[in-house]
Amino acid sequence: MREHYGRIPVQLIRSRYLPHRTYKSIILKAADMSLISSLRGSSRRVTSPSTLPETDNLRDLWTAVIDLQQASRRLETSVTNTSLTIKTTSPIIVGFLADAHIGAMNCKYSDLEERFQQMSGNPSFYLFSVGDSIDNYLPQPHGNGMFEQLIPPKLQKQLVEDLYMRMKGRWLGVVQGCFLEGTPILLANGIEKPIQDIMVYDCVYSDGESKRVLKKFNNVWNGEMVALNVMGVTNTIHATYNHNFYVRKRDGDGTHPIKIGYPKWVEAHEINKGDYIGFPRIKESVSCEYTNEEMYIFGLWLAEGSYQRNTSINFSFNIDELKYVNTVKTFFENKNIKVYISERPERKSIEVAVRSKETNSLYREMFGEYCHGKRLPAHFLWYNNESLQSLLDGLFNGDAHYRNTGWGDEIIWTTTSKSLASQVRQILFKMGIFVSTSYYERDGKRPYWVETFRVNKKRPHHLVDDDYIWLPVKHLDSYHYNGIVYNMEVEDNHTYEVAGMRVKNCHDNWSYTADQFDWTQYLSSKLQCPNLGFGAAVDLTVDRQWYRIMLKHKYRFNSSINLTHTVKRMREMEGDFDIGCVAHHHQAAIEQSIMGDGIDRIFIRPGSFKGQDRYSSQLGFTDSGAFIPSVVLDNTQRMMTAFLHLDQAVSYMESLQ
């Protein structure tokens, strides 16, 4: 008989799984509101809430869904530390199951069935699920053989539920990264927006195209973060160690010629200094509705323009820039618009006033107000390069200066508008031109951005192909973080751009983004055990003896030679434990070692029930066999006995009894 006293939130319950083509709604219910209110802040044990019967009344359906959504937002969905107590008069076995990948074409279904028969037939056997019970999460085929699924996602969940319920009452927990607040997300209009301010249906860049945000996630993360500094990027990017970036690895000792690998998805902790991160270039080009002359005037105004009330637009030029004065005067007079020119010798400037309320209104609508608020209309970024070149010619003639260096001709442009700086950067990337952006603050004045790019450069430090500009990592560091991180889902694919860099959803979120259903939350509720989120420390008391168990599905410092190295580093970074378990890499290992303090600890890699396929081979995963590593825990003294093979643990337990 087991009791646990850790806080367990009310979970979402799916009434039943419906066929993929069934368009009836699947009804969800947390619990009635009085139960929810009583649970807030409590630590009592909660059993699974009842399901809501199906109904043909759509008004009732809407009410149920809204109540559920509001309730779930107010409740925690996972724990990072919890305490469990198992009342027993004899030792127990604790198994660690991970990466079953039910639904995969090459899952070892017969082995899995056999293991569950062994475990369910032994009442002293308890179990942790350490992630990836279903076959990673995508309902459609993926390139490179990724996720060759035999069973569709919804049916996968139904089969897992049926299998795992055979151990109901003996599950100890279900384990399932993301960006920090302030991380800049590139919108489709070329303007950056902090990730916490991104809204559903915002349009963002995704693989060089405009895509809508379908969902935004925020999770509590307690673990390693990676801080990345990339050449030419103002912001330091902070990401969970397992977030994926699109990277070309740099090989060799840094000498020339540089050896660069092929593009691939790389987790943040595997990125090294000198590796190249991909910045997608805008792919689409459309015909421009304005002439090149008009685009040039737009550029001049963005550099030198202002408004005079609602009556005119003004240009301010240096007294030596008469050619620009004449260009503006001729352009507007040809449109029968009055132009007034006045010299200001004390300022060494010439003011050009274009008197037209219609022009004033048009420019306000298109380009914003004030120097720090100037911006381009979103559709300008998709214009053909010839039109954009005219725009940049006007902008740089007005605001940039040129100099010759040993590396080539250099153009330096300055603006107080963060939005315009971001948009100009995207235009230059679209043209295949690398630009370095710097940010400066001034006492009592607005900050400003300086963008520098070079032409005729002799020795570029960046790479350019048809789809990307690749910029090298200058510096990176890691640190521990406990707080909120953010992620989001984008329509049609799972990628978006952080400070222009191509990233994709965390591996741990793909199930949720595939069908809008939090599988870990649901499964922990059905099994009546804690939802351990992205990993947790569990204080397990076996009758009178206490053990600390730490679990994570993924962690850094993986080694193909020393398989338990990542678990040992987790102990160094996250805190001490008696048993540590890290899954994900599909290679089974278990090690019981005496540490420097003279106390033994157990380090576990559970392995996988999924055989090799093309995708796992590319990641370096191997087929290490179907294992559920297990540990026999004594109930009267601190004594642990580790077994890689399940049948050996069961035989040992039988000998004790």
For 570: left if phi > 0, alpha if psi spans -120 to 50, otherwise beta; the answer is alpha
Whether residue 634 has pLDDT greater than 90: yes
Of the three residues 447, 477, 509, the one that is the final residue of a domain is: 509
Give yes or no: residues 276 and 297 share one domain.
Answer: no
Of the three residues 391, 426, 458, the one that is the final residue of a domain is: 458
For residues 239 and 527, give the distance between their C-alpha atoms in angstroms, rounded to a whole number.
32
Q: Supply the pLDDT for residue 404.
A: 73
For residues 24 and 54, give the distance between their C-alpha atoms in angstroms, rounded to a whole number.
9
For residues 280 and 274, give the distance between their C-alpha atoms in angstroms, rounded to a whole number.
19
Give yes or no: residues 525 and 472 share one domain.
Answer: no
Give yes or no: residues 72 and 92 share one domain.
Answer: no
The answer to whether the beta carbons of residues 567 and 605 sit under 8 Å apart is yes
Give yes or no: residues 528 and 497 share one domain.
Answer: no
Residue listed under structure tokens 């330091």: 236
| 182 or 268: which leads in pLDDT | 268
Give yes or no: residues 329 and 447 share one domain.
Answer: yes
Q: What is the CATH number of the domain that holds 318?
A: 3.10.28.10
Give yes or no: residues 136 and 23 share one domain.
Answer: no
Q: Supply the pLDDT for residue 338.
A: 92
Range of the domain at 395: 292-458
For residues 3 and 543, give the distance between their C-alpha atoms in angstroms, rounded to a whole number.
11
| 507 or 416: which leads in pLDDT | 416
For 408: left if phi > 0, alpha if psi spans -120 to 50, otherwise beta; the answer is left
Give yes or no: residues 446 and 298 share one domain.
Answer: yes
The answer to whether the beta carbons of residues 633 and 542 sit under 8 Å apart is yes
Which alpha helices (H) appear in 575-624, and where do they start and end?
614-618
Confidence band of 126 (pLDDT split at 50, 70, 90): very high
For residues 654 and 580, give the distance between their C-alpha atoms in angstroms, rounded to a whole number.
25
**Can you read off the two tokens belonging to residue 101?**
């990948």
Give yes or no: residues 522 and 496 share one domain.
Answer: no
Whether residue 18 has pLDDT greater than 60: no
Of all residues in the chain, what percent carry a pLDDT higher than 90?
25
| Model confidence pLDDT, tens digit, residues 557-586 | 788 788 899 999 889 888 899 999 998 888
Of the three residues 76, 107, 138, the one that is the final residue of a domain is: 76
Give yes or no: residues 360 and 410 share one domain.
Answer: yes
Q: Which amino acid is at 599?
A: I
The answer to whether the beta carbons of residues 538 and 130 sit under 8 Å apart is no
Give yes or no: residues 551 and 502 share one domain.
Answer: no
**Can you read off the two tokens belonging to residue 356?**
């037209």
Q: Supply the pLDDT for residue 334.
A: 93
Q: Which amino acid is at 193?
A: K
Q: Supply the pLDDT for residue 560.
A: 76
Give Rg (Cα) of the chain.
30
Q: Supply the pLDDT for residue 242.
A: 76
For residues 182 and 185, give the distance between their C-alpha atoms in angstroms, rounded to a whole number.
9
Q: Supply the pLDDT for residue 348.
A: 87
- Sign of torsion, CA 487 488 493 495? negative
For residues 447 and 445, give the distance between their C-alpha atoms in angstroms, rounded to a whole number.
6
| 392 or 242: which leads in pLDDT | 392
pTM over 0.85: no
Confidence band of 69 (pLDDT split at 50, 70, 90): low
| Model confidence pLDDT, tens digit, residues 24-49 | 232 233 333 333 233 333 333 333 33
Give yes or no: residues 423 and 447 share one domain.
Answer: yes
> What are the strands of the beta sheet with 401-405, ordered from one edge?
401-405, 408-415, 445-455, 436-442
For residues 47 and 9, give the distance between their C-alpha atoms in angstroms, rounded to a whole number.
10
| Model confidence pLDDT, tens digit, residues 216-253 | 666 666 778 888 888 878 778 888 777 788 889 887 54
Q: What is the CATH number of the domain that holds 503?
A: 2.170.16.10
- What is the DSSP code (8-state) at residue 102? B
**Can you read off the two tokens belonging to residue 230?**
């990339």
The answer to whether the beta carbons of residues 586 and 136 sit under 8 Å apart is no
The mean pLDDT of the chain is 76
Whether residue 296 has pLDDT greater than 70: yes
Confidence band of 195 (pLDDT split at 50, 70, 90): low
| Model confidence pLDDT, tens digit, residues 428-461 | 888 888 777 777 777 777 776 666 666 555 556 7
Greatest mean pLDDT among 168-177, 181-190, 480-489 lies in 168-177
Number of other CB atoms surrounding residue 408 within 10 Å:
14
Whether residue 554 has pLDDT greater than 90: no
The answer to whether the beta carbons of residues 306 and 316 sit under 8 Å apart is yes
Confidence band of 388 (pLDDT split at 50, 70, 90): very high
For 575: left if phi > 0, alpha if psi spans -120 to 50, otherwise beta; the answer is left
Q: What is the CATH number of the domain that holds 540?
A: 3.60.21.10
Q: Give all strands (DSSP E) within 270-374, no chain letters.
A: 276-280, 305-308, 312-318, 338-344, 349-355
Q: Which three-class secondary structure string do you get for 339-358?
A: EEEEEECCCCEEEEEEECHH
- If one counts the domains in the chain, the total is 4
Give yes or no: residues 409 and 319 share one domain.
Answer: yes
The answer to whether the beta carbons of residues 370 and 363 sit under 8 Å apart is no
- Residue 119: phi, psi to the nearest 5? -70, -45
